[in-house]
């Protein structure tokens, strides 16, 4: 091929001097222990769901040496049913103990991992429709919202699904989330960084640099401290901050979305802070909703409004000419 005349493969094919006499190619195999992975047992017990879609519920213990639990199981789901997965909660797995890194990574729709205990970093990274719940034991002697329940980089790159965490987590929560719904009771620095979609509910403190580079999605934060939001985002109008009582009076769906997630959070995790919030709503709805601030990128909000207006007019925004008109409207602000 004429392009080959411009290639010099000599640096790639060069054989260096091997004065040590060591092998220059792979001579030994590696054992990653996959045959002993916890997922092997989960896959076996989930056979009815994998073969026919019949719901199953599995209970077992977990240790922090068990990493990427649920990922091989998720592979079996996707191999058989594709990206749409199974019906929600077709495979429910109740685990007790401490999960290792990447718990529930890339979990597809149809698998729900419930962990009573705690988890390490990267929980739910690449979540793809599955559900993850982490909670302390019901008889725990500590307050969950004052203690760490999972590590750093939770929900990184999640595209869909749900994560409910009764407790606080470390840094970079929901980074690059594009569609999952997450609830947690406190986060470290850089929460919701580069988030492009989905919903994050923070029922507690936020660390520094919150929502840096956030271009989509919604974050609902309890008792937000504006100084914790990334520098300049509020002042320059990159992010809009409004309390839920104001949005509720305007007739938006924000209060419904927020409360729906908190109710499910309380139901699944027995969250004390969530239950107290719901009790406050019964006594003083407006005052309680005033404690919740919605953060949303300004341009994302404009786009949502433009799409809603087009849909109300019966327009198909997949049509190129309609889409072009929407983009012009958004650009005008």
pLDDT digits (tens, 9 = 90+) for 28-74: 899 988 999 999 999 999 999 999 999 999 999 999 999 999 999 99
pLDDT of residue 153: 98
pLDDT score, position 123: 98
Residues 255 and 289: beta-carbon distance below 8 Å? yes
Residue written as token pair 């925004």 = 317
For the chain, the average pLDDT equals: 95
Rounded CA gap, 55 and 254, in Å? 33
pLDDT at 196 over 80: yes
For 77, the token pair is 């789901």
Q: Quickly tell me which residue has 């909703």 as its tokens.
A: 289
- Residue 290's pLDDT band (boundaries 50, 70, 90)? very high
pTM for this entry:
0.91
Amino acid 282: pLDDT: 84
- Determine which of 21-25, 38-42, 215-219, 314-318 has the lowest per-residue pLDDT on average: 21-25
**The residue to which tokens 């006499």 are assigned:** 21
Distance CA 136, CA 268 (A): 11
Burial class (CB in 10 A: 0-12, 13-18, 19+), 159: middle
Vertex 180, ends 107 and 99: CA angle to 5°? Answer: 45
For residue range 250-273, list pLDDT tens digits in order: 999 999 999 999 999 999 999 999
> Is the separation of the CB atoms in 91 and 114 below 8 Å?
no
| Cβ–Cβ < 8 Å for 64, 98 | yes
Q: Which residue has the higher pLDDT, 58 or 3?
A: 58
């Amino acid at each position: 091929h004429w392009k080959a005349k411009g290639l010099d493969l000599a640096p790639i094919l060069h054989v260096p001097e091997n004065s040590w006499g060591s092998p220059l190619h792979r001579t030994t195999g590696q054992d990653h222990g996959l045959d002993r992975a916890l997922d092997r047992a989960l896959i076996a017990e989930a056979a009815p769901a994998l073969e026919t879609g019949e719901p199953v519920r599995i209970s077992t213990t977990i240790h922090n040496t068990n990493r990427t639990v649920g990922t091989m199981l998720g592979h079996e789901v996707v191999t058989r049913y594709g990206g749409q997965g199974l019906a929600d909660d077709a495979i429910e797995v109740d685990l007790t103990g401490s999960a290792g890194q990447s718990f529930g990574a890339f979990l597809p729709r149809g698998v729900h991992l419930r962990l009573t205990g705690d988890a390490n970093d990267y929980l739910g990274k690449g979540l793809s429709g599955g559900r993850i719940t982490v909670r302390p034991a019901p008889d725990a002697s500590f307050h969950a919202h004052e203690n760490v329940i999972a590590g750093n980089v939770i929900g990184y790159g999640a595209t869909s699904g749900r994560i409910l965490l009764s407790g606080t987590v470390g840094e970079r929560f929901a980074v690059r989330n594009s569609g999952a719904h997450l609830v947690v009771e406190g986060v470290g620095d850089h929460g919701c960084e580069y988030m492009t979609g989905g919903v994050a509910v923070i029922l507690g403190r936020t660390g520094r640099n919150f929502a840096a580079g956030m271009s989509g999605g919604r974050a609902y934060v309890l008792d937000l401290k504006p100084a914790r939001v990334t520098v300049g985002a509020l002042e320059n109008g990159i992010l809009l901050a409004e309390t839920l009582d104001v949005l509720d009076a305007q007739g938006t769906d924000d209060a419904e979305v927020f409360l729906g997630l908190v109710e499910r959070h309380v139901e699944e995790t027995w969250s004390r802070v969530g239950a107290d919030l719901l009790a406050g709503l019964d006594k003083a709805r407006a005052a309680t909703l005033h404690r919740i601030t919605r953060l949303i990128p300004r341009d994302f909000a404009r786009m949502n409004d433009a799409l809603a207006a087009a849909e109300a007019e019966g327009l198909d925004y997949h049509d190129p000419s309609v889409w072009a008109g929407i983009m012009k409207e958004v650009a005008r602000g």
